[in-house]
A = this chain, B = another copy of it.
Amino acid sequence: MIDNIPLDPAELSDAWDLLSPEERLAGFRMLPPEKAEEFFFDLSADDQAELILSLAPGERRIWMRLLEPDDAADVVQAADEEDRATLLGLLDEATRREVTALLAYEEDEAGGLMSSRFARLRPDITVDEAISYLRRQALGKIEVETLYYIYVLDNAQRLLGILSLRELFGAPGNRLVRDVMNTDFVAVPEDMDQEAVARLFAEYDVVALPVINDEGRMVGIVTVDDIVDVVQEETTEDIQKYGGMEALEEPYLRIGFIDLMRKRAPWLSILFIGEMFTTFAMSRFEGKIEEAAFLASFVPLIISSGGNSGSQASTLVVRALTLDEIKLRDWWRVVRREFFAGALLGSILGALGILRVAVWQLISPIDYNGALAAGLGTAGMSATVFVSLLGVVLFGTIAGSTLPLLLRKLNFDPASASAPFVATLVDVMGVLIYFAAATALIL
């Protein structure tokens, strides 16, 4: 079973997604021992759970015990309901208690992200004593998530102050910790949502934040590396919503086909139903189309221009809202700006549209006058195209910029004002604007 030809970890990583659980285990066993540990740490919690459970019972304990409590909690969470007790049973008593406590938190709140292994000091020792104490702890292999910040707690585990190790180093050795610590610090409640925690990290530019429970005791720290993952996850969700579907929650190649369809089909169907209004709108003008079939040829060109300009505007506004570059109270500045942008962009496309009508007339003349009762020919068609493009692009930019603001105002996610959603809205309006212009100007 155990083959002694060592396997390159990079090769195994590359093939991982294509392998069955048995093949994964076989590959893992073929790794050189010194590489296996690193490989194991790089796996996702799902894969770690699967791998541990596929090992012989005797071997499981070693791997499970390699994990830090917060990572062990993720592995337990990733396993199926019936395997969780097995995995918890592999841990030593103290860690099991820690992991069980962590499991009580929601995955997406501060408590679910935190580690309970942080460096702590009492306030009434000197700086020199504090440094020796931390060194003794480190020598004794007492694991902490980071030594970057040290937390000063009283006997009731209440957080009194924070010291960076740099500050501790820079303080005279005979001063008390109490006198050199910073008492003006930011802490997060254990049930704070992870997005709010991420915003605090960005705002205060720190590498770790302390977590406080509702009795005021410090229970752990959240470190910046967990937050980087959170930000990436949230960005992916935003982008997927923005592409006109529900957020996937799993990597594209990992998610099951049925789940993938569940995320995509409903939105696509809703957009389809919304788009049906274009058929109603157009069928109202069927008489005009019968009279002048060339009118229909311009419909996709006109409506898609509205969709594209709306997509630009909503992309800009959604992203700027996410980054807090725009606040709700800026709405008037945004709308005013997009009004002028729409007017200018619409005029540019309108000019291109006139060019299209004129050039086409030279190549393959349309007998506008023959087709129309009292038509104005090329001039009328040019005017219709220009006016419609101006109107549609203006509507697109204004809809694209106000919708995300409106959604934020109503406490919905602005990213739901997706490019396809805005385009659908604009399409219906585009048909109406175009045929109204045509009726007024040529028919």
Q: Which of A68-76, A89-97, A345-353 contacts B (4 or more CB under 8 A)?
A: A345-353
* A25 contacts chain B at the CB level, 8 A cutoff: no
Give the residue of B242, B253, B344 whose beta carbon is less than 8 angstroms from that of A330: B253
| 0/1 string, A287-328, CB within 8 A of B gives 1 | 101100110111111011101110110111101100101110
Point out the residues of chain B lying under 8 angstroms from A160, CB to CB: none
13 contacts between A and B (CB under 8 A): A147-B165, A224-B224, A243-B311, A243-B312, A244-B312, A245-B315, A257-B337, A261-B345, A268-B349, A269-B349, A269-B352, A273-B352, A276-B356
Are A264 and B148 in contact, CB atoms less than 8 angstroms apart?
no
Most chain B CB neighbours (cut-off 10 Å) among A239, A257, A352: A239
* A279 contacts chain B at the CB level, 8 A cutoff: yes
Q: Which residue of B lies closest to A241 (CB)?
A: B315
Point out the residues of chain B lying under 8 angstroms from A236, CB to CB: 319, 323
Known contacts A253-B333, A299-B300, then 14 further A-B pairs from the complex at CB < 8 Å, ordered by chain A residue? A14-B327, A138-B169, A147-B165, A148-B148, A228-B228, A240-B315, A243-B311, A244-B308, A265-B348, A269-B352, A275-B304, A279-B360, A282-B297, A282-B300
* A420 contacts chain B at the CB level, 8 A cutoff: yes
In whole Å, how far is A242's beta carbon from the nearest beta carbon of chain B?
7
Point out the residues of chain B lying under 8 angstroms from A308, CB to CB: 244, 268, 271-272, 420, 423-424
Are B169 and A352 in contact, CB atoms less than 8 angstroms apart?
no
* A190 contacts chain B at the CB level, 8 A cutoff: no
Point out the residues of chain B lying under 8 angstroms from A268, CB to CB: 305, 308-309, 312, 345, 348-349
Point out the residues of chain B lying under 8 angstroms from A124, CB to CB: none
Are A323 and B232 in contact, CB atoms less than 8 angstroms apart?
yes
How many copies of this chain? 2
Give residues in A with beta carbon < 8 Å to B.
Answer: 14, 131, 134-135, 138-139, 141, 144, 146-148, 165-166, 169-172, 202, 205, 207, 224-225, 228, 231-232, 235-236, 239-240, 242-245, 248, 251-254, 257, 260-261, 264-265, 267-269, 271-273, 275-276, 278-279, 282-283, 286-287, 289-290, 293-294, 296-301, 303-305, 307-309, 311-312, 314-317, 319-320, 323, 325-327, 330, 333-334, 337, 340-341, 344-345, 348-349, 352-353, 356, 360, 364, 419-420, 423-424, 427, 431
